[in-house]
Amino acid sequence: MVTRRPGQSVRERRDSGETLVEILITVVITGLTVTALVSSLGVAGNAGNVHRSSVESDVVMRNYAEATKAAVRGCVAGAPYTVVYVPPAGFTVATQPTAHVCPNLDATQLVAITVDGPLGVHQTMDIKVRTP
């Protein structure tokens, strides 16, 4: 049985528990915190994948440049040369100019190498090729 003093209403008594509003605010704050944490982990994971793809694109580009230099070593001025390099799956390599012809002995040729990789990574590099 609840005892109260004369003139004291039931609302004036305080329980030591939490109110529904306090619990709801706690649940909302906890939910926002967990959502922010999970979102940041997703962004960090995606950034890691993009960085890895960028590094792999750089390796593909440099390997293609080395294959181009190796193809030109046995080249005769004005003769075509063939670059032997197969990029890994998901990567494409394009060059400008597309026709590979050894430059004259006293000249160099600028070759632009473009690599497109997964996740939209696009990198370019210019190299100078000359006949040995």
Q: Are 91 and 116 in contact (CB under 8 A)?
A: yes
Q: Is 64 exposed, middle or buried (0-12, 13-18, 19+ CB in 10 A)?
A: buried
Average pLDDT, the chain: 87
Q: CB count, 10 Å around CB of 60? A: 23
The 10s digit of each residue's pLDDT in 86-111 is 999 999 999 999 888 888 888 888 99
Q: What is the pTM of this model?
A: 0.68
Query: Where do the structural domains in the chain lie, given as residue ranges?
Result: 19-130
Q: Are 117 and 59 in contact (CB under 8 A)?
A: no
Alpha carbon distance 74, 129 (integer Å): 12
Alpha carbon distance 108, 102 (integer Å): 9
Strand, coil or helix: 43:
helix
Average pLDDT over residues 22-30: 95
The 10s digit of each residue's pLDDT in 27-51 is 999 999 999 999 999 999 888 888 8
pLDDT of residue 94: 93
**13 or 56: which carries more pLDDT confidence?**
56
pLDDT of residue 2: 56
Strands of 122-130's sheet in order across: 92-96, 108-116, 122-130
